Amino acid sequence: MIDILEHINAVQREVSRTGETVTVVMRRTYRAEPAEVWDALTDPERMRRWFLPVSGDLTIGGSFQLEGNAGGDILECDPPKSFKVTFGGPNSLLELRLLPGAGSSTELELEHSMGEAPAPGGSGALWVGPGWDGALLGLALYVAGELPADADPVKMADSPEVIDYNEQSVRAWIEAIRASGTTTEEDLLSAAKISLSQYAPDAEL
């Protein structure tokens, strides 16, 4: 069983807006050394265990494609500290940074900036934030050794337990966006309904 609230509360979420660019920042601590988290984030055989299969030339200047999801170009890579890629388009930039935490832990920071947000103002964060929440959950379960050897992340994403988690994620992002003051309440609620229909179809605001 997943402790939904524990995992939701383990993530710090921030939303900001500069002109037409919306940025989400997420932070979470993992009980593993940076080298271990880096390997789980970048080794294709390990990525498929908790996230998605990836293909491509996984070097600086190369490109990648996530199976059934986005692809992009690899812009920067500094193992085991950080990497930066385009994600789904040239105006969508994703950067992950790893810092040593207390004891044998790692502080992960994910930053996703969208130059052409899919919804007005900060409400565009609802298109990507819950998805990244799901990824950070999968990574946490994987590095903690809580995923079965035959786990299928795609099937897990459709489980009632993960859908309940998605609902709480959307609600957490609603509050983060509201606190950021980057959009109107009307636009926020409109985007929230669309986000819920995607990530937790039976949920209501």
Instruction: Identify the CATH assignment for 4-199 out of 3.40.50.300, 3.40.449.10, 3.40.50.1820, 3.30.530.20.
Output: 3.30.530.20
pTM metric for this prediction? 0.95
> Quick check: 183 and 121 in contact, CB under 8 A?
yes
What per-residue confidence (pLDDT) applies to 94?
Answer: 98
Boundaries of every domain in the chain: 4-199
| Confidence (pLDDT) at 119 | 80
Q: How far is the C-alpha of 157 from the C-alpha of 106, rounded, in Å?
A: 25
* Tokens encoding 193: 């309904």
| Least confident stretch, 32-46, 76-90, 116-130 | 116-130
pLDDT at 118: 79
Q: Is 129 exposed, middle or buried (0-12, 13-18, 19+ CB in 10 A)?
A: buried
Residue 203 has pLDDT above 80, yes or no: yes
pLDDT in tens, 155-179: 889 899 999 999 999 999 999 999 9
Q: Please enumerate in sequence order all residues whose Cβ is within 8 A of that of 173, keeping only pairs 6 or more positions apart, or say none.
A: 13, 15, 125, 126, 129, 130, 133, 195
What is the rounded distance in angstroms from the CA atom of residue 22 to the CA atom of residue 3?
Answer: 30
Confidence (pLDDT) at 150: 86
What is the arithmetic mean of pLDDT over 22-30? 97
pLDDT in tens, 57-86: 999 999 999 999 999 999 999 999 999 999
